Amino acid sequence: MTNVSAGTLRRRPAQRRSVERVERMLDECARLLDEVGYDGLTTKEVARRAAVPIGTFYQFFPDKQGLVRALALRNLDAFLDRLAVRLGEEEISDWTDAVDLAVDEFVAMKRTTPGFAIVDFGEIMPFPGGPPMKGTNRLLNAALENNVIVADRLRVLVIDLLGAPRGPGLDRALVVAVEAADAVIKLAFRVHPEGDPGLIAECRRLIRRYLADHIPER
């Protein structure tokens, strides 16, 4: 089930039936993004396909951008959950080994998760690989760029699960790493619809080498 915050929805679903309705609307939003893109997405069609009255849609979401924002947050939660499972299951020799897992999970979601190629963690793409639509770099939070929020969530994960050192150096390094990885992976999916393997490999190499200078070995 989605873990979108109370500030994202107009009304937080309390009953199981309401939670299921919100999930169905997010699911149909994701499918429609793949089918018709963001411009073709309508609240009316999302409600119809989710089998909910249009009035119910507006009880939870102010508009289609609010719906997409909630989908992006659900995507981020899913990515972090998947990464946490992988980090818990696999032995890593140093902190930079986590880079491969993070890149692998992100690429897998780009390839298989409905709607993720159009809206991953906030930016809205007119087509897979971008460039993103103007003004969507702060979709998750008007005060912060999407990648800053992603880096902060990753920081909590690497500190909690890997014991990485706290401090402004780590904070800054993760923002740079997320920005760089985002740019290279966008390029990989512009070059090839499934993500160019050579560019994805270069992304891993780039981020590993960069973080190796900022995060000490375990």
Q: Which two tokens stand for residue 126?
A: 């007119």
Tell me: pLDDT of 93 over 80: no
DSSP 123: P
Whole-number pLDDT of residue 155: 86
Helix %, strand %, coil % of the chain (to 5):
65, 0, 35
Whole-number pLDDT of residue 6: 41
Q: Which two tokens stand for residue 12?
A: 């937080």
Give the CATH fold of the 16-212 domain: Tetracycline Repressor; domain 2 (1.10.357)
Q: What is the pTM of this model?
A: 0.89
Q: pLDDT class for 27, splitting at 50, 70, 90?
A: very high
Tell me: pLDDT of 74 over 90: yes
32-73, pLDDT tens digit by residue?
999 999 999 999 999 999 999 999 999 999 999 999 999 999
Per-residue DSSP letters for 124-186? BPSSTT-PPPTT-TTSSBTTB-HHHHHHHHHHHHHHHHH-PPPSHHHHHHHHHHHHHHHHHHH
| Pick from 172, 184, 183, 185: nearest CA to 211 | 172
The domain limits of the chain are 16-212
